[in-house]
C-alpha cells in the first residue's frame, strides 16, 4: 500500500514538476515581452484583476476540498455508484458557483473606477475585466470532473494537458504582443486555450472513468449531503482567511498607493509564487495518499508520516526562503532593471510570509486529508479581519511595507492555532513538541541568514550575475549543512535522505 501511494505521488510530482518548469520559463519570457510591449501599467491592471477574481472565487466555498475528502473511501473501495453520485453533486454545485461568481463579478463593474488607481494609459478597462470574469466563470462550468483524478492520485492527467496548453498559449500570446501589442487579443487567446484544455481533460476523465456518465437517477443520500454541506460551511470560513492573505494585498496596494505599484510588486510575487508552485506540487501530490493513511492506519502511523511530511516542508522552505531573500533584488535588477525595484523591507516581508505560509502547508494538508475542517473554522475569520485592518492602518503610516507587515501579523494566528487543532483531533496528542521544534527551526534559520548577510555584506561582487551565482551556491551549501548538522539520525531525516536517494522500501 505504501509503495503504491509513493509511486502515485512520484508520478504526480514528476508531471507537476515538468509543468512548473515549463510554466516558469514561459511565464518569464511572456512577462518580459509584456513589460516591453505593454508597460508596467497594464501589468498592474493584470495583477489587480487577477486578485479581484481570486476574491470572487470565495464563492467556491471549499466545495472541491469537501468532495475530494468524500471521494477517498469510495475510490479506494471501487464504489462506482458512490463516485458517480459525488461527481454529479459536484457538477451541480460548481454550476451554481459559476452563476454566483458571474453575478458578483458583474455587480463590481460600477465600482471598478474606485479600485483602479493611476493608470490613465490603459484603455478598455471594462472589457478587460469582462474577459477575466469570463475565464473564471467558464472554468467553474467545465472543470468539475478534474476533482476525480486529483482524489484518485492521477493528477498527472491534468498536469500533462496543462503543460501543452501553457506552451500553446505562450506562443500565441507572444505573437500577439510582438505583432499587435493588443492586450484584448492577449486575453482572448488565454480564454480560448483555457476552455479547450479543460474540455480535453473532461474527455480524458470520461475515458478513464466511463461509469460516471451512466444515466441512473440515483442522487447522493440526504445525510451525506448534510455532511458535505457541514464541511463546506467550515471550508468557506477557511477560504476567507486564504483570500485575505493571497488576494487582498494587491487590491489594498492599488487603492491606498496606486495600481502601477501592483505591477512592480507582481514581478517579485511572480518569482515567489512560481517557487511555491514547485514545492506545493510535491505536497499536493501526496494529499490523497495522506487521506488513505488517515483512513486506514493507526494514530501512531499518522503522526510518523506527518512528521516526515513536515520535515520535508522545512527542508524545502528554509532553503528556498533564504535563496529568495538574497537573490530577488539582484535578479530583478538583472532581468528588468533596477528602476523596477521595491524597498528591501517589503522584499524581506515577502520572503518571511512565504516561509510562514509554507510551514503551514504540511499540517493544512493533513487537516484536509482528515476532513476536520470544522475544528479551526473561526481562525480564518479572525485572520481575515486582522489582516485587512492592520494592513490598512500600517499602509497609511508606512506605505507598501505596512500592507505586508499586516499579512505577517495575521499569519501568526493560523500558525499557532492550526497545529494545536490537528495534533488534538488527528494525532490525539499534545502539540507542545511541535511548537518547540518550530521555534528551534526559526532560531536555526535566523542565525544562518544573519551569518550569510554579514558575509555577503563584505564581499564586493563584480556583477549581478556573479552575485547571483555566488549567493545561490553559498546558500545551497550552508542551509543543507545546517539541516544535516542538527537533524542527522532522526527518523524524518533518514526518511528524507532515503526519498532523495530512491531507497524508500515498503513499510510493514
User: What's the pLDDT band for 266 if we cut at 50, 70, 90?
Assistant: very high
**Share of residues in the chain with pLDDT > 90 (%):** 53
CA dist., res. 496 & res. 308, Å (int): 7
| Tens-digit pLDDT profile for residues 195-244 | 999 999 999 999 989 998 887 777 888 888 888 777 777 667 766 666 66
| Domains: count for the chain | 1
**Rg (Cα) of the chain, in Å, rounded?**
23
Mean pLDDT of 173-191: 96
- Which grid cell is 13? 510530482
**Angle at 202 (CA atoms; ends 30, 278), nearest 5 degrees:** 40
| Tens-digit pLDDT profile for residues 417-469 | 999 999 999 889 999 999 999 999 999 999 999 999 999 999 999 889 999 99
User: What's the pLDDT band for 261 if we cut at 50, 70, 90?
Assistant: very high
| Tens-digit pLDDT profile for residues 285-328 | 666 667 667 766 788 888 888 899 899 999 999 999 999 999 99
CA dist., res. 55 & res. 38, Å (int): 25
Tell me whether residue 506 is in a domain: no
> Which pTM was predicted?
0.82
CA dist., res. 26 & res. 196, Å (int): 19
Mean pLDDT of 243-259: 84
Mean pLDDT taken over the chain:
87
Q: How big, in percent rounded to 5, are the helix, strand and coil portions of the chain? A: 85, 0, 15
CA dist., res. 422 & res. 305, Å (int): 14
pLDDT value, residue 155: 84
| Tens-digit pLDDT profile for residues 79-135 | 998 999 888 888 888 888 889 889 999 999 999 988 998 888 888 999 999 999 999
Q: Which residue has the higher pLDDT, 420 or 7?
A: 420
Mean pLDDT of 248-271: 92
Q: Could you tell me where the DSSP H helices lie in 337-399?
A: 344-370, 377-398
- Which grid cell is 28? 518569464
| Tens-digit pLDDT profile for residues 119-129 | 888 889 999 99
Type and span of the H or E element at 422: helix 400-425
DSSP state string for 214-267: ----PPPPHHHHHHHHHHHHHHHHHHHHHHHHHTHHHHHHHHHT-HHHHHHHHH
CA dist., res. 438 & res. 404, Å (int): 22
pLDDT value, residue 53: 86
pLDDT value, residue 170: 97
pLDDT value, residue 288: 62
Which of 283, 273, 245 lies closest to 366, judged by CA? 283
Mean pLDDT of 155-169: 93
Distance spanning both ends of the chain, measured CA to CA: 9
Which of 147, 155, 200 lies closest to 15, judged by CA? 155
Which of 267, 274, 195, 269 lies closest to 23, judged by CA? 274
pLDDT value, residue 62: 59
pLDDT value, residue 5: 59
pLDDT value, residue 315: 95
- Which grid cell is 317? 522552505
CB 279 within 8 A of CB 316: yes
pLDDT value, residue 6: 63
Cell numbers 472565487: residue: 57
pLDDT value, residue 475: 98
CA dist., res. 71 & res. 89, Å (int): 12
pLDDT value, residue 352: 97
- Which grid cell is 152? 484518485
CA dist., res. 15 & res. 282, Å (int): 10
CA dist., res. 152 & res. 4, Å (int): 12
Domain holding 36, by residue range, is 2-501
pLDDT value, residue 58: 60
Amino acid at each position: 500500500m505504501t509503495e503504491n501511494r509513493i509511486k502515485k505521488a512520484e508520478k504526480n510530482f514528476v508531471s507537476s514538476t515538468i509543468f512548473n518548469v515549463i510554466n516558469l520559463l514561459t511565464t518569464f519570457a511572456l512577462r518580459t515581452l509584456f513589460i516591453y510591449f505593454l508597460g508596467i501599467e497594464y501589468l498592474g491592471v493584470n495583477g489587480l484583476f487577477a486578485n479581484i477574481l481570486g476574491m470572487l472565487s470565495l464563492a467556491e466555498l471549499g466545495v472541491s476540498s469537501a468532495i475530494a475528502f468524500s471521494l477517498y473511501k469510495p475510490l479506494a473501495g471501487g464504489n462506482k455508484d458512490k463516485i458517480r453520485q459525488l461527481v454529479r453533486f459536484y457538477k451541480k454545485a460548481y454550476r451554481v458557483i459559476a452563476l454566483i461568481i458571474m453575478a458578483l463579478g458583474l455587480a463590481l463593474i460600477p465600482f471598478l473606477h474606485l479600485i483602479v488607481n493611476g493608470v490613465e494609459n490603459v484603455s478598455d478597462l471594462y472589457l478587460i475585466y469582462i474577459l477575466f470574469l469570463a475565464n473564471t466563470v467558464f472554468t467553474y462550468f467545465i472543470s468539475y470532473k478534474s476533482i476525480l483524478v486529483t482524489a484518485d492520485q492521477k493528477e498527472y492527467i491534468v498536469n500533462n494537458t496543462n503543460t501543452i496548453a501553457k506552451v500553446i498559449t505562450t506562443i500565441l500570446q507572444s505573437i500577439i504582443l510582438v505583432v499587435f501589442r493588443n492586450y484584448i487579443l492577449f486575453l482572448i487567446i488565454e480564454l480560448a486555450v483555457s476552455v479547450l484544455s479543460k474540455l480535453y481533460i473532461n474527455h480524458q476523465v470520461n475515458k478513464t472513468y466511463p461509469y460516471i456518465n451512466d444515466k441512473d437517477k440515483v442522487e447522493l443520500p440526504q445525510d451525506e449531503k448534510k455532511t458535505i454541506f457541514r464541511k463546506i460551511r467550515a471550508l468557506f470560513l477557511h477560504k476567507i482567511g486564504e483570500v485575505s492573505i493571497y488576494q487582498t494585498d494587491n487590491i489594498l496596494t492599488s487603492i491606498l498607493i496606486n495600481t502601477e505599484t501592483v505591477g512592480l510588486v507582481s514581478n517579485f510575487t511572480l518569482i515567489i509564487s512560481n517557487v511555491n508552485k514547485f514545492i506545493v506540487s510535491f505536497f499536493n501530490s501526496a494529499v490523497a495518499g495522506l487521506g488513505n493513511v488517515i483512513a486506514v492506519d493507526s494514530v501512531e502511523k499518522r503522526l510518523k508520516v506527518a512528521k516526515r511530511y513536515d520535515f520535508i516542508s522545512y527542508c524545502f522552505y528554509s532553503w528556498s526562503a533564504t535563496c529568495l531573500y538574497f537573490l530577488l533584488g539582484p535578479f530583478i535588477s538583472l532581468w528588468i532593471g533596477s528602476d523596477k525595484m521595491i524597498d528591501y523591507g517589503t522584499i524581506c516581508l515577502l520572503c518571511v510570509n512565504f516561509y510562514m505560509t509554507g510551514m503551514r502547508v504540511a499540517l493544512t494538508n493533513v487537516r484536509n486529508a482528515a476532513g476536520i475542517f470544522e475544528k479551526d473554522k473561526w481562525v480564518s475569520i479572525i485572520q481575515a479581519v486582522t489582516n485587512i485592518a492592520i494592513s490598512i492602518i500600517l499602509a497609511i503610516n508606512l506605505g507598501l511595507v505596512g500592507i505586508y507587515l499586516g499579512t505577517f501579523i495575521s499569519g501568526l494566528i493560523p500558525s499557532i492555532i492550526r497545529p494545536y487543532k490537528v495534533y488534538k483531533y488527528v494525532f490525539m496528542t499534545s502539540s507542545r513538541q511541535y511548537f518547540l521544534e518550530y521555534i528551534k527551526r526559526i532560531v536555526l534559520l535566523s542565525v544562518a541568514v544573519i551569518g550569510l548577510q554579514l558575509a555577503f555584506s563584505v564581499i564586493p561582487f563584480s556583477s549581478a550575475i556573479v552575485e547571483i551565482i555566488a549567493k545561490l551556491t553559498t546558500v545551497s551549501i550552508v542551509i543543507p549543512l545546517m539541516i544535516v548538522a542538527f537533524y542527522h539520525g532522526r527518523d524524518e531525516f533518514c526518511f528524507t535522505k532515503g526519498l532523495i536517494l530512491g531507497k524508500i522500501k515498503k513499510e510493514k
